[in-house]
Amino acid sequence: MTQFEFRVYNDQPCRFRLKSGKEVYGVIWEKAQPGKASYYFASLSERYNHNLRNNSIGIMIDIEDVIGAELLSNSGTLVG
């Protein structure tokens, strides 16, 4: 998935299909870094739990490893 394609899914609850064939449910968000953006994945509970005071939630992910996504809040088909 390109950065442009990803913008629709940024910080939204989704089902993601990865190059490895796995499907994961959660949130991927873009975090601006000097030089280029970085992307992080976390479960919904990790991302939106306001009790977590640690900014290091989520694991870094290569956005190009995501080959499809479906917004969970909409009834659509898997894109990609």
* pLDDT grade for 74, boundaries at 50, 70 and 90: low
Q: Per-residue pLDDT tens for 32-47?
A: 888 888 999 999 888 8
CATH (one of 2.30.30, 2.60.40, 3.40.50, 2.40.128) for 3-71: 2.30.30
Residue closest to 13 by CA, chosen among 78, 71, 76, 80: 71
pLDDT score recorded for residue 51: 62
Does pTM surpass 0.75? yes
Predicted confidence at residue 53, as pLDDT, reads 55
